[in-house]
Amino acid sequence: MDFLALAQSRQSDRAYEKRPVEREKLERILQAACLAPSACNAQPWKFVVVDDPELSVKVGRATAGLGMNKFAKDAPVHILIVEESMNITSFLGAKIKDKYFPLIDIGIAAAHITLAAESEGLGSCILGWFDEKEIKKLTGIPAGKRLLLDITIGYAAKPKRKKSRKPMEKVVSFNHY
């Protein structure tokens, strides 16, 4: 698939078919995630894949709260992204430049995951609203680690929507702000 067509077709899917995702597809998605660039090649992430049907429902329930993300309990797969330590060069660069590179790096990895899922014919949705403590308990993520994102993956149950984006001239400029 042409990259612009891939980017155009990727959307945040909030309804999934009740069918499992093939392990081979998940492995290719995770390979793409592991290939994501990171500051000083720190790779400050760990991907916890929840594809056990019973555990997936429990993680989905912990992701739904205050009326948010109700669909998550129906997602067959959750890819949880846990922040790991920076390497020394990334840490020093972050201090010198006053930028927290792991958040940027994990955002890039999340984009790789969702685009790879789209290329596999799967839907996805990046979620940051969830009961972190409960999901850690369910999945054995150590209490001292930071769970930053839950990316739901599955076969989309609804058709593609028209994408609404600001016009390029509002968000892009050349050579000057």
pLDDT (tens digit per residue) in 9-24: 999 999 999 999 999 9
Q: What is the pLDDT of residue 67?
A: 83
Q: What is the pLDDT of residue 86?
A: 86
Q: What is the pLDDT of residue 44?
A: 97
Quick one: three-class SS letters along the chain? Answer: CCHHHHHHHCCECCCECCCCCCHHHHHHHHHHHHCCCCHHHCCCEEEEEECCHHHHHHHHHHHCECCECHHHHHCCEEEEEEECCCCHHHHHHHHHHCCCHHHHHHHHHHHHHHHHHHHCCCEEEEECCCCHHHHHHHHCCCCCCEEEEEEEEECECCCCCCCCCCCHHHHCCCCCC
pTM: 0.94
Chain position carrying tokens 């945040």: 12
Closest to 11 measured CA to CA, from 169, 172, 158? 158
Instruction: Note the pLDDT tens digit of each residue in 146-162.
Output: 999 999 999 999 999 99
Q: What is the mean pLDDT of residues 47-68?
A: 95
